[in-house]
Amino acid sequence: MTSVRVSILASAAFALLALSACGKSSKAPEGQVVATVDCKDVTIHELNAEIAQIPNRGGDAPRKLVESVALARVIERKMLAEEATKRKLDKNPQFLLAKQRTDETLLVQALQADIQSKVKPTPRESAQKYVADNPQVFGDRKIFTLDQIQFLRPANIDQLPFKDAKTMAEVEKILTDANIEYRRAPQQLDTLTVNPALTTEITKLSSSANAEPFMFADQPTGAPAPVIYVNMVTNAKTEPFIGERAISYAQNILQRQEIQKHLATELKAWQDSYKTKIVYAKGYAAPVLPGAPAAKPVGGATTVAPTAK
C-alpha cells in the first residue's frame, strides 16, 4: 500500500466527523452540494478541484477514499478560515495585502488563459515546414556531452581574462584566483530543446581542429543572478527526431510562439493605454534599465544565450 493510501486512511475519518447537520435540520445535502460547514455549502466542483491537487490523484486508492480525503481538506480549510474570520484576522493589513496579491495573480492567469484560448491551433503544414527548415533540431538532432563549469555571473566579469582561456583548466584557474565559487560536472545538451543558433555555434566550435571552451548565459527560475556556463564538447551523437512525433512537437513550439506573440502584443497595447493613468510619487518613477551586458567570449568563441522552446 502506498504512502498516499496511508495518508488517505488517516484523514478519511475526519471527513465523517466533520459532516454535521446544519442547525436543527437533519436533511442531508443533495444535488451539487456534497457537505455543509456551519450552513455553508461545499460543492462537487470544490471537491473535484481539491482532488486535482492530490499527487497522482491518490494513485491506486479507491475513488471514494480519495474523495473522503479531499472533502476532509476542504472542510478543514473552511472551518479554520471561519475561525480566523471570527478573530477578525481577515482585517489584518498583512492578510489584506497577501489576499490582494493573490487575487491579482489569479486574475492575470485568467487573462492569459483567455488570450491563449483565442489563438488558433497551428496548422499541420506550418509544423511540417518548421521541421524541414530546422534539420539541426529534428532530422540532424544531436545530443552533446559537455564538460561544463557553472557559476553565478560576477559583477566584475568584464575584468576577468576569460578571452585568453584556451582550456577548461585555465577557466578553473581564473575562477579560483578570483575566489568565485563554481561547479564542474559533465552535462548533456539536446539540440531538440535549445535555440537553433546555439546548436549551430556549438557544432561549429566542436568540429574545429583546435576546439576551445565556449560560454553562454541563462537565468534559471529562482537563480539570484544569471548563470554562466563554460563548456567543452567531449562527445556528440546523432539521434534523429522525425515522423509524427516531430510534427506534433513542432506544432507545440509554434503554438507557444504564437501565444507569446499575442501576449506580448496585448501587453504592449495595455502598457501604452495606461501610461497616462499611472502617476508616481517623487523618487519612485520606473527606472530606465540598460540592456543586460553579454558575457565575454571564452577563447574567442561567440557567446550565445540558449532559449528553450
How many other CB atoms sit within 10 Å of the CB of residue 222? Answer: 5
15 pLDDT band (50/70/90 cuts)?
A: very low
Could you report the per-residue pLDDT of 52-87, keeping only the tens digit for each?
888 877 677 888 898 999 999 999 999 999 999 999
Q: What is the mean pLDDT of residues 293-299?
A: 43
Q: Which of 2-16, 140-154, 199-213 has the highest mean pLDDT?
A: 140-154
Q: What percent of the chain has pLDDT over 90?
A: 61
Task: Classify residue 137 by burial, with Cβ atoms within 10 Å: 0-12, 13-18, 19+.
Answer: buried
Residue 13: the pLDDT is 46
- Strands 214-218 and 183-190: what pairing? unpaired
How many other CB atoms sit within 10 Å of the CB of residue 155? Answer: 7
39 pLDDT band (50/70/90 cuts)?
A: confident
> Which residues pair with residue 145 across a beta bridge?
188, 235
Residue 294 grid coordinates: 553579454
